Amino acid sequence: MKKIALITGATSGLGRAIALRLSKEGYNLIITGRRKDRLEELDKEISVNYDSNVLPLCFDVRKYDEVEKALGSLPVEWKNIDILVNNAGLAVGLDPIHQGVVDDWERMIDTNVKGLLYVTRVVSPGMVERKSGHIINIASIAGKGVYPNGGVYCATKHAVDALSQGMRMDFLPYNIKVTQICPGAVETEFSLVRFKGNQDRADQVYVGFENLVADDIAEAVFFAVSQPAHVDIQDMVVMPTAQATGSMFHKEE
Ligand code: NDP
Ligand code: 8X3
């Protein structure tokens, strides 16, 4: 029987690439996000190219009632989720704290921290009951250090780091693996979202060095899920060769 992977934030970037990679490897997929048209497109692309079943579920991870409704009573053939990839997330704005936009803060905290918790709260009891499962949290290099004007985003990813450690402790008796993947700069829609649709500003982020692409992180996820039962990859930091920390790059003029 095929394994089931649930990927949040599959409408773009890392989540989309992870969904395609895992379907190529023979997983059935639950793909989620808020943009229904993108979910339908991805469903079609997977169905044309791979022999996987797909269940697209459109909801906002910030709303616990929506998360509960979508994932709390799945059809029986989709209930036994083997892999949960907590990927949905975003940065909004790049401002010093004293000029920060409170609504940007709420969006980041509600999505990156509370959303991840809501989905995990609904999915993990099944894993505990079956004494089997693998949770993969997409954190960030921003969860390993802090950079100027990114304090709130970095705080949310530090929270993911703490939650990954806590999950590892709480799920230890239940044979559930917890992997955290911390990417550096990957060119996706991430910067377009951070700069609120300003494409020129978003493009600037990736000028002068070779950034990661979403497939690099999909490869890391596949590496983690393809380990034998006794091996848990706990924490992976995956950086562009030309990036040392969240804010230190070697850029060619
Ligand atoms: P994208 O903007 O390309 O993708 C973000 C995904 O998250 C989209 O599918 C979006 O779907 C989903 N999402 C955002 N908010 C919500 C919400 N409220 N409810 C449901 N889904 C939501 O960015 P990335 O692929 O780059 O980001 C994916 C993850 O990787 C994030 O957690 C990000 O913090 C992390 N990351 C990214 C890095 C990078 O440099 N790109 C580096 C390190 C970590 P929709 O809008 O349809 O809801
Ligand atoms: C995204 C990577 O360094 O722009 O999490 O914060 S960074």
Read off the amino acid at residue 176.
I
104 lines ligand 1 (CB under 6 A): no
Count other Cβ atoms within 10 Å, centred on residue 230: 5
Atom of ligand 1 lying closest to residue 15 CA: 25
Residue 9 CB less than 6 A away from ligand 1: yes
The ligand with the least distance to the CA atom of 38 is 1
The protein residue whose alpha carbon is closest to atom 3 in ligand 2 is 246
Kindly give, in sequence order, each residue whose CB lies less than 8 Å from that of residue 108, ignoring residues fewer than 6 positions away.
90, 91, 92, 152, 153, 156
Asked whether 190 lines ligand 1 (CB < 6 A), one says yes
253 pLDDT higher than 80: no
User: What structural domains and CATH numbers belong to the chain?
Assistant: 4-238 (3.40.50.720)
Position 223 scores a pLDDT of 98
| Averaged pLDDT, 94-119 | 98
Choosing from 140, 156, 245 the residue with most ligand 2 atoms within 8 A of its CB, the one to mutate for a pocket test is 140
Q: How much is the pTM?
A: 0.98
- Residue 97 in tokens: 């704290």
Q: How far apart are CA 3 and CA 129, in angstroms?
A: 17
Summarize the confidence of residues 12-41 as an average pLDDT. Answer: 98
What is the pLDDT at residue 117? 99
- Residue 5's DSSP bridge partners are 29, 83
Which pLDDT tens digit goes with each residue over 54-105? 999 999 999 999 999 999 999 999 999 999 999 999 999 999 999 999 999 9
| Pocket-forming residues, ligand 2, beta carbon under 6 Å | 140-142, 150, 184-185, 246
Report percent pLDDT > 70 for the chain. 100
Quick check: is 153 catalytic?
Answer: yes
Q: CB–CB of 156/113 below 8 Å?
A: yes
Could you report the per-residue pLDDT of 200-221, keeping only the tens digit for each?
Answer: 999 999 999 999 999 999 999 9
Closest ligand to Cα 17: 1
